[in-house]
Amino acid sequence: MTTQTTNSNIELPSWPHDLYSDEVLADPWDTFRALRDIGPAVRLAKHEDAVALPRYAEVRAALADPKTFASGRGVTLNPMLNEFAAGSTVLMTDGEQHRQLRAVLMKRLTPRYLRPLAEAMQVAADALVDELVERGSFDAVQDLAVALPTSIVPDLIGWPRKQRENLLPWAAATFNLFGPPNDRSAEAMPLFAALNEFAHQIVDSGDVLPGSIVDDLLAAAHRGELPIEQCPMFLLDYMTPSLDTTISALSSAVQLFARHPEQWDLVRADTSLIPSAFNEIVRLTSPVTHFTREVTVDTELCGIPLSAGTRVLVMFASANRDERKWERPNDFDVTRDATEMLGFGFGVHGCAGQGLARLEGHALLESLAKRVTRFEAGEAQPALNNTIHALASLPITVCPAAGSRK
């Protein structure tokens, strides 16, 4: 580790390693701990001297001040993607423009709209878990965590029925592009281009499911409330974060309960713990590891001077394990109050789909709690992605609860 002088002549520690190597992506926790130990703000020499914020207090403070820590100049470490997408997605806009775009999206994601979906979600989760328990052994990623969101979310968003088989590869590619320019992001480019082209086709043809989020978006554009030429980007904005994130959380949930059977016993004995268990799962596994912000004016963040133009890495996952914030941060404890975790972000850009993600997570855990007493896990394979911390596969064998097999 060396120290470097920033534009504002303040010395920040500098870290020389690749935060996006295969090893770090597969198991990032020791690296995050090392960064937290170095300091509250650490220059990433390998990544254009972006300033990493690995601790809870600074991450939360940056998210709470969107004027100074802007999203409208891009939230990725990839300058090309920042230029392409900034100012044209919910995620990458600021102020009034962001408020307006978010209002269209949120219309169908409020608790009032989601409530009727809860029943359909539970029915889908029950049917899926019935089938898997009958089988006994299955892959918790493909057969369980992928199956539930992909059966419900694309309809809610309004994605046409064709090309659905491409949704997951396209979403993974987009999240790879959020990282720094590296091999993974280079490989992602053609897939992102195909997704972009399909989004243009959807907007041109108006081929979306009636009564869906994208239907609302196109209607607002046709009323002149939004520029129609930006609609393809908004569409990516809705689709990309709605699947991989939740799939990661659901598969991690099974892995955690396989590793910690005593926590599963607690949930089975008292299913009112499910909402707090889901928060704890998102805290501990943080499907979205980090996004970035650009500093708009010379400023101080928790006493650290940062100059205008600095790109900061807002490390949700590291903050969620900061020992300054959490007692026993690496322990999985379903009774912990994890409501202040930052796995869904915080502030004006806080996850627009968290109500939906919770609905999916709660339904699945309810179904499993009734039907499964134990999960036995085989060897998991990580899915290496520049932004999403996830598993590619997780072989699972379940012990069924009495009477849960037909």
**Binding stretches for ligand HEM (CB under 6 A):** 71, 75, 90-91, 102, 105, 237-238, 241-242, 245-246, 249, 282, 287-288, 291, 316, 343-345, 349, 351-353, 356-357
Tell me the longest C-alpha to C-alpha distance in the chain: 70
Coil, strand, or helix at residue 383? strand
Task: Provide the minimum distance between the beta carbon of 150 and ligand HEM in the complex, in angstroms, as a whole number.
Answer: 12
Nearer to ligand HEM, 268 or 283 (CB): 283
Please list, in sequence order, all residues whose beta carbon lies within 8 angstroms of the beta carbon of residue 162, skipping any fewer than 6 positions away.
Answer: none
Side-chain-side CA neighbours of residue 298 (13 Å)? 6
Task: Provide the minimum distance between the beta carbon of 85 and ligand HEM in the complex, in angstroms, as a whole number.
Answer: 12
**293 bridge partner residues:** 312
Task: Provide the minimum distance between the beta carbon of 401 and ligand HEM in the complex, in angstroms, as a whole number.
Answer: 26
Alpha helices in 64-179 (DSSP H): 79-85, 95-106, 111-135, 147-157, 167-177
Task: Provide the minimum distance between the beta carbon of 243 and ligand HEM in the complex, in angstroms, as a whole number.
Answer: 7
If residue 331 lies in a helix (H) or strand (E), which one and from where to where? none
Nearer to ligand HEM, 52 or 288 (CB): 288
In this structure, the chain runs to a length of 406
Nearer to ligand HEM, 191 or 359 (CB): 359
- Six-digit token pair at 300? 């101080």
Nearer to ligand HEM, 133 or 359 (CB): 359
For residue 85, the one-letter residue type is A
Q: Which residue is nearest to ligand HEM (CB)?
A: 353
Task: Provide the minimum distance between the beta carbon of 242 and ligand HEM in the complex, in angstroms, as a whole number.
Answer: 3
Nearer to ligand HEM, 133 or 249 (CB): 249
Q: Residue 33 in contact with residue 315, Cβ under 8 Å?
A: no
Strands (E), 191-296: 291-295
Nearer to ligand HEM, 133 or 235 (CB): 235
Please list, in sequence order, all residues whose beta carbon lies within 8 angstroms of the beta carbon of residue 380, skipping any fewer than 6 positions away.
Answer: 255, 391, 393, 394, 395
Give the whole-angstrom CA distance, residue 179 versus residue 94.
21
Task: Provide the minimum distance between the beta carbon of 157 and ligand HEM in the complex, in angstroms, as a whole number.
Answer: 7
Per-residue 3-state assignment (H helix, E strand, C coil) for 272-285:
HHHHHHHHHHHHHH
Task: Provide the minimum distance between the beta carbon of 142 and ligand HEM in the complex, in angstroms, as a whole number.
Answer: 18
Nearer to ligand HEM, 14 or 245 (CB): 245
Nearer to ligand HEM, 243 or 306 (CB): 243
Q: Residue 405 in contact with residue 373, Cβ under 8 Å?
A: no
- Which of 109, 108, 78 is closest to 92 using CA atoms? 78
Task: Provide the minimum distance between the beta carbon of 364 and ligand HEM in the complex, in angstroms, as a whole number.
Answer: 12
